[in-house]
Amino acid sequence: MTADAAAIAAESITVGVLALQGGYVEHMAALSRIGQVVAVPVRTASDLDSVDAIILPGGESSAIGRLLEVFGLMEPLRKRIAAGLPAWGTCAGMILLAGDIDNDERRHLCLMDIGVTRNAYGGQLDSFDASTIIPELGPDPFPLVLIRAPSITRMGPGVRVLASLEGKPVACMEKAMVATSFHPELTADGRFHEWFASLARSYLVPR
């Protein structure tokens, strides 16, 4: 390990969670259980300046999109993610990141080269649990909680599948951006949050 790599490995990392609407509390609780990770809520552009990575939580994508505009966060968030800030969108967060939304004319951050369909797995009453193996997390199946979940309908050439369910992708990655149809924060399994924290750490530079 080089001196720079050792310095990064020993350093705490600050992961922001967009805290305008939706399930941000659960993400912050999951992050708090990881060593050398500081979880902070992000509600303003100055909050965003302090983070090494950002999680866009589940909730209502159209409401979060409106609040991003109201709070003056849309453009600062878009610019930081486009510049390489590691970002993970769960459910509604996936919709915020997506370049195309098949059943909605609105676009939000429009950064990932994916197409999605909102509520593809049904409404609130159609929510369900499943499991699948995610190679990055090891050989044991990972629990999936899908609530009014979007589906991934298109992926550009730079996007790779991280996880599938019944032959359909439910998690994908492009550069430092990650999107999941499911909600790891609603399970007791912390592996996905740990993996994302490790991904974010790999983008750090020594301070």
Task: Report, as residue numbers or ranges, the catalytic residues.
Answer: 91, 183, 185
Q: Dig out the tokens for 158 from the structure.
A: 């730079």
Kindly tell me the burial class for residue 167, based on how many C-beta atoms sit within 10 Å of its own C-beta (0-12, 13-18, 19 or more).
exposed
Q: Dig out the tokens for 93 from the structure.
A: 């967060």
For the chain, the DSSP string reads --HHHHHHHTS-EEEEEE-SSSSHHHHHHHHHTSTTEEEEEE-SHHHHHT-SEEEE-SS-HHHHHHHHHHTT-HHHHHHHHHTT--EEEETHHHHHHEEEETT-S--SS--EEEEEETTTT-SGGG-EEEEE--GGG-SS-EEEEESS--EEEEE-TT-EEEEEETTEEEEEEETTEEEESS-GGGSS--HHHHHHHHHHHHT----
